[in-house]
A and B are shown apart, each in its own frame.
Chain A
Amino acid sequence: MAMSDEIRLRFEISGDDFTRAGEASSSVKKELKKLGIDPQAVRKVAIAMYEGEINMVIHANGGAIDVVIHPDCIDMILKDNGPGIENVALAMQEGYSTAPDNVRSLGFGAGMGLPNMKKYTDEMQIETERGVGTTVTMKVHI
């Protein structure tokens, strides 16, 4: 890729549809692989984005994800109009989860979503407002 090049991808995530959750992350992973991006970076993006995608499905009734592939990094912007995160510090703690039981029985709700997103990205910001929504911005260097 030349320095000025960037590739933009946009995904609409539907809420409460667990059968489709992961499709956006999978297509980003495929795209990055096709571009020949370092497998470690691809794995990081795939994991972080999947966790974000699942969060949007479980907690926020869906939303939209923008992925921008730059020559030296990958940006992910996950925006939802959900209820917002009441206590970000708590949500960032491994093991803390507000996922309902029906979701836990599917294997979710380990309380590792946000911690994984932080662990697998080089930068992460959370902007959240109760009753308005949450925007999570993540960056992975290539």
Chain B
Amino acid sequence: MTVYTLAREAGFTVEAGADAEDREVKGVYCCDLLSMVMGRAKADTAWITVISNVNSLAVASLADVACIVIAEGVPVDAETRAKAEQQEILILSSPLPVFETGLAIHRCIGAAE
């Protein structure tokens, strides 16, 4: 399942990366500690976090995740959004808490397989 399809089916908003290449989502990873994400998130996963800043972008890019999903409806500021557009990083926003967000993604991916 691709990021855009996931956003549609799970009811998440696309916050940034509207022009970025759509990517396949192959799993879910949840964590807010950036070093842990760098070391442990697998490539092509949807990374769920409540840390919404430019540093999350660098981590997403280097760890090569499919997208960032900002949970709990935490706002994404303009600078982060602009940088994400520039670096073609997909950011989704979920109104749900981290666990429910992960569960929703997991169900969407599972249903698509």
Contacts and interface: CB of A to CB of B under 8 A. Distances in A.
A21 interface: yes
Nearest to B80: A19
Contacts of B51: 106-107
Interface of B: 32-36, 38-39, 43, 49, 51, 53-59, 61-64, 79, 87
User: Secondary structure of the B side of the interface?
Assistant: helix
Contacts of B56: 107
B38 A107 contact: no
7 contacts: A22-B57, A47-B39, A50-B59, A54-B34, A106-B34, A107-B49, A110-B35
Interface residues of A, number: 26
A22 B35 contact: no
Contacts of B61: 22, 26, 29
Nearest to B54: A19
Contacts of A111: 35
B98 to A, nearest CB: 14
Interface in A27-84: 29, 43, 46-47, 50-51, 54
A5 to B, nearest CB: 26
Interface of A: 18-19, 21-23, 25-26, 29, 43, 46-47, 50-51, 54, 106-113, 115-116, 119-120
Contacts of A108: 33-35, 55
